[in-house]
Amino acid sequence: MLRIKGRVAAVLPDNIDTDIIYPGRYLNITDREKTPEHLFELSYPEIRETLHPGDLMVGGRNFGCGSSREQAAAAIKFAGAGAVIASSFARIFYRNAINLGLPLIIAPAATGRIQPGDELEIDLAAGQILNQTRNETYPAAKLDVRAIELLEAGGLIPYLKASHVQI
């Protein structure tokens, strides 16, 4: 979990909001596995076709701004994305993704450089991204302890199952 390798399937601009990621009209779909059917449906429907399991996605500033809808993070996760890299993430989206076990990497120095198709290797513990295609490295913010704990457990549900609840 602390090392992620993958190909960049899409590079997106600043302020990708949760309505763009997952339109409000599909919020009554409460099966997480079904959410990828509507991923980026309004503005970038082609991403659904080009995203393969383990692929990475890159955004700009304030990725995931807007509503608290967990379906936005779920749609990216269950479409198979290995991680999302962005200059910054909106708060609720960040928590939702980590809670679902989708790694998010904050790396403002990387986002302008990475192009679709690049092969990356991310070292979460060291806070570093290696771009194998361009032979460049970029610093990334280290994940805080809490987020690493949750990601290693596979998300909040398995984490709570294992650590908190005595049923």
Partner 1 sequence: MPMTLAEKILARASGRVSVEPEEIVVANVDVALSHENADLVRKSFAEIGAAHVWDPSKIVIILDHRVPAESERTAETHKAIREFVAAQDIRNFYDVGRGGICHQVLAERGHVLPGMVVVGTDSHTTTHGAFGAFATGIGATEMAGVWTTGKLWFKVPATLRVEVEGSLGPWISAKDLILYVIGKLGSDGADYRAVEFDGPAIRNMSVASRMVLANLSMEMGAKVAFTPVDAAVLRYLSVRSGRDIVDSADYHADEGAKYEAVIRIDASVELNEPRIACPHSVDNVRPISELAGLPVNQAVLGSCTNGRLEDFEIAARILVGRTVHPRTRLIVIPASQEIYLEAMELGYIKAMVQAGAMVNPPGCGPCVGVHQGILAAGEICISTTNRNFIGRMGSKDSKVYLASPAVVAASAIAGCIAHPQVVVEEALACSA
Residue bearing tokens 């198979």: 80
Tell me the per-residue interface mask from 48 to 87 with partner 1, x by CB under 8 A, - otherwise: -------------xx--xxxxxx--x--------------
Segments of 93-144 assigned E as strands? 104-106, 119-123, 128-131, 136-139
Cβ neighbours, 10 Å, residue 68: 12
Of the candidate residues 38, 96, 114, 140, the single one contacting partner 1 (CB under 8 A): 96
Q: Does 141 bind partner 1 (CB under 8 A)?
A: no
Least CB distance to partner 1 at residue 38 (A): 11
Using the contact rule CB under 8 A, the part of the chain among 50-58, 104-112, 119-127, 149-157 near partner 1 is 149-157
Of the candidate residues 19, 119, 121, 136, the single one contacting partner 1 (CB under 8 A): 19
What DSSP element (H or E) covers 156? Answer: helix 156-163
Q: Does 153 bind partner 1 (CB under 8 A)?
A: no
Sign of CA dihedral 95, 99, 102, 104: positive
Residue bearing tokens 């991680």: 83
- CB within 8 Å of 128: residues ≥ 6 apart: 122, 137, 138, 139, 140
Of the candidate residues 56, 86, 92, 105, the single one contacting partner 1 (CB under 8 A): 92
Amino acid 8 reads: V
Least CB distance to partner 1 at residue 64 (A): 11
Q: What is the C-alpha separation between 90 and 161, in angstroms, rounded?
A: 27
Tell me the per-residue interface mask from 23 to 42 with partner 1, x by CB under 8 A, - otherwise: xxx-xxxx-----------x
Cβ atoms of 139 and 109 closer than 8 Å = yes
User: Residue numbers of the site for partner 1 (CB under 8 A)?
Assistant: 15, 17, 19-20, 23-25, 27-30, 42-43, 61-62, 65-70, 73, 88, 90-92, 95-96, 99-100, 144, 146, 155-157, 160-161, 164-165, 167
